[in-house]
Amino acid sequence: MTISARIHYATLALTELAIRHPGRTPVAVREITGRHGIPGPFLVQILRTLRSAGWVESIRGSQGGYRLSVEPADLTLLEIADVVGCPESNCFGEATETPANQMLQETWEAANEASRQVLSRTTLAEIAARATHGEQVMFYI
């Protein structure tokens, strides 16, 4: 699985919202872009996708912004990647049927499955807790 900038930025934005979730305080786009260096227009596109998925809601007004509308513990990184990333059928592209291509395709699929297992075991709540407490994030495959 390719972890694109879109998936990475979506997860960063959701993490920011998850950290503030208990109080349900809206977070302004400029706050997220300033903290993480995400281009503003790109983040707005990502937040629209997340809103369409039902994971965030937008609040209008001077004290507005975005807030999480699901429990962070109920959202895995795999779900985030699947919603904002490439569709599974388009991740590897098309190639000719040669022995080398066949072997590479099998290797990519095995790597994809291993990464999907790690992402499916990791929730947004875990990432937010680690970010809040400044722990190093370590993944084992």
Per-residue model confidence as pLDDT tens digits over 110-138 = 988 999 999 999 999 999 999 887 655 45
Prediction pTM value: 0.80
Residue corresponding to tokens 């699947």:
82
The answer for residues whose C-beta is within 8 angstroms of residue 119's C-beta and 6 or more apart is: 1, 76, 77, 78, 81
Residue 34: left (phi > 0), alpha (psi -120 to 50), or beta?
alpha
For the domain spanning 5-133, the CATH number is 1.10.10.10
Q: Residue 55 carries which DSSP code?
A: S
Residues lower than pLDDT 70 in the chain: 1, 86-96, 134-141
DSSP state of 2: -
Domain ranges of the chain: 5-133
**Residue 51 confidence (pLDDT):** 97
pLDDT at res. 31? 93
Place of tokens 């049927």: 97
